[in-house]
A and B are shown apart, each in its own frame.
Chain A
Amino acid sequence: MTNESLTRDVPPNRALIEERLVVWYFLASIAYLFISMLGGFLMAFQLIRHNPFNGIELLSPGRWRMIHTNAIAYGFLANAFLGNLHWIVPRLTLRPVFSRTLSYLIFAAWQLVVLSTAGGILMGEAQGLEWGETPVWIDPVAQLGLGLVAVNFMAPILKIKGPMYVTLWYFLAAFVWTFLTYAMGNFVPQYFVCGTSAGAVGGLFIHDLVGLFVTPLGWGSMYFFVPILLRKPIWSHGMSMVGFWGLAFFYPLQGIHHFLYTPIPMFLQYGAIVSTIAVEMVVLTVIVNFFGTLKGSSRALATNLPIRWFFTGMVFYAITCAQCALQTTLTFQALIHFSDWVVGHAHLVMFGVFGQWLLGVMTYLFPRLLKTEWASPKLCEWHFWLSSVGLFTMALDLTLAGLFQGWSWAALQPWDASVEISQPFWIVRIFAGIAMFAGQVLFCVNLWKTWQQSPLNKASLKSEALPA
């Protein structure tokens, strides 16, 4: 398109992007991150036998552990991604979303879903599947919400003529996948299958939620923001497309790698291992593409904080991939299955990779959304370092804990012995968590100060002061 036709056909920026909603989604996401972290602390204190709320049913660590993971997936990550989508999709398609009113309705409905899920879990009504805990009476509403999200964002994307940028491919797929994955995990084991079969479906669900909801939205966002931050195109668009189709064909079958050595037939377990190896290659395309793009611009790591968030996330991604290569072998599974190695891996990928990227996006977008620079670049740095160092310490600590637990079990030590040797590691986890938590507190302080100096805040104060 020429500049003239762009000026003629594309609605003004204010009509194109609902910036207020992007801010709301980001704020909701940060709020759930805090709620989730508090749940994590409660469980962590329980494990070192210092639960401050012993005997209070509503504060039971078992329930708050479910809130911890549920609020991360549907509160922190989903809200941050929805904010991202409201920024990215109109800019890439040059068309607004299907309906602004629908966008606000989805925002309200989604918060209702996440909060009532937390309420349901606290009241003891959780469904018995990790990340599928959402009580049965909320499932249809959540499913409807996901359908509406798909309609709202797919409408502008499907109007595009000609080759699409990789980000839109990922987003298109994510809308369909998330809808189907949610249905599979929340309805199939509940109403249609049971026993080992339900176990197999549960395995597919947990992993598909990571790979078909979080991953495509995360990769799509990365492919959008990194070229903008570095002011140069990604290294190879062709390779990014190989990654996309690879994810589409190989991801869905690998969930059963969570259930190696179970009564699920061996050919399915081997199938999951083979597809896990394939997905390793697919993730490599993303890592290679990122570092290929960064080549020649590494100075940006010192001067450009959002790119540093992406870089750190990508380094953590490479580490999780290396872990995956080990985890997917039966020999290594025998050692680390059920141990804290897996918990370390989960934190590394959920916060270390996708959380870091999303916080990088927020660091880049908040000044644009609030029309002012960050009040304190120093606090931004503290946010980065506390989050990254805290997370790395937690992941390393839990990885080691997992190995010691595995060796203890392999040596046929009594269960209690493995709990005893875990204590120092679980104590370190709390300190690492405090660092991560402190990082987010500083982020909020900085955000508040930035809002105080924002022209948007001044304008709203002025309009409130005007006589009616």
Chain B
Amino acid sequence: MQSNTPRSDWRFTVILAFTILLPCLYGFGGKFIEFIHIFRGNTDGMFAVTPIVNYLLASLGFFCMLAWATMRGMFHDIEAPKNTFLETEEWLDHRETETAR
């Protein structure tokens, strides 16, 4: 299916995505390396394992979901669902008024 999203919308979305992703990856990467250092050398910091492992497990699940969704073409025509949803809503409302008559 051809996407009918204006180019400016696309550009804005991509720029926003990168503004969020890059600094965060940098921040998290740094903190993760620090965490590994503590884990190796300092037993006092060991308790931090619980929240970190919680987080890593949850994120792993979300990576799998993201990959699954991409492979199923969920983001192929990314703007389409916003229109189809409104069309079916209209149809449901129309049917309700018809039944009420």
Q: What is the interface of chain A, defined by CB distance below 8 A to chain B?
A: 1, 3, 6-7, 10, 12-13, 91-92, 94, 162-167, 176, 180, 184, 188, 193, 195-197, 200-201, 204, 227-228, 231-234, 236-239, 241-242, 245-246, 248-250, 252-253, 255-256, 264-265, 267-268, 270-271, 274-275, 277-278, 281-282, 285
Contacts and interface: CB of A to CB of B under 8 A. Distances in A.
Interface residues of B, number: 51
Contacts of A232: 86
A255 B48 CA distance: 13
23 contacts: A3-B91, A91-B89, A91-B92, A92-B85, A92-B88, A162-B73, A228-B89, A231-B86, A232-B86, A236-B9, A236-B79, A239-B9, A242-B13, A242-B16, A249-B59, A250-B20, A268-B51, A270-B27, A274-B31, A278-B23, A278-B27, A281-B19, A282-B20
Contact of A237 (B28, B66, B82, B92): B82
A59 to B, nearest CB: 37
Contacts of A193: 47, 50
A176 B58 CA distance: 10
A274 B20 contact: no
Q: Which of B9, B35, B38, B58 neighbours the largest number of chain A CB atoms within 10 Å of its CB?
A: B58
Contacts of A274: 23-24, 27-28, 31
A236 B86 CA distance: 14
B83 interface: yes
A200 B50 CA distance: 9
A162 B77 CA distance: 10
Contacts of B52: 268
Given A163-B77, A265-B38, A285-B16, A1 B48 contact: no
Q: Which of A6, A165, A270, A271 neighbours the largest number of chain B CB atoms within 10 Å of its CB?
A: A271
A120 to B, nearest CB: 27
A196 B20 contact: no
A237 B79 contact: yes
Q: Which of A167, A265, A267 neighbours the largest number of chain B CB atoms within 10 Å of its CB?
A: A267
A195 B78 CA distance: 46
Contacts of A248: 59, 62
Nearest to A246: B20
A238 B5 contact: yes
Contacts of A255: 51
Interface SS majority for chain A: helix
Contact of B82 (A162, A165, A184, A277): A165
A61 B51 CA distance: 33
Given A163-B74, A242-B20, A13 B83 contact: no
Contacts of A267: 31, 34-35, 38
A238 B78 contact: yes
B24 A250 contact: yes
B48 A239 contact: no
B99 interface: yes
B94 to A, nearest CB: 9
Contact of B75 (A163, A200, A204, A275): A163
B48 A264 contact: yes
Contacts of A196: 47
A162 B73 CA distance: 7
Contacts of B19: 281
A201 B28 contact: no
Given A227-B86, A242-B16, 6 more contacts: A92-B85, A197-B50, A200-B51, A231-B86, A268-B31, A275-B28
Given A6-B88, A242-B16, A274-B28, A234 B47 contact: no
A256 B55 CA distance: 12
A233 B83 contact: yes
B75 A281 contact: no
B16 A239 contact: yes
Interface in B61-101: 61-62, 66, 73-86, 88-89, 91-92, 95-96, 99
B78 to A, nearest CB: 5
Interface string B20-37: 100110011001001100
B73 A239 contact: no
Given A6-B88, A184-B54, A238-B5, A271 B27 contact: yes
A149 B42 CA distance: 43
Contact of A13 (B23, B54, B85, B95): B95
Given A164-B74, A265-B45, A268-B51, A239 B85 contact: no
A197 B95 CA distance: 56
Given A270-B31, A271-B27, A237 B81 contact: yes
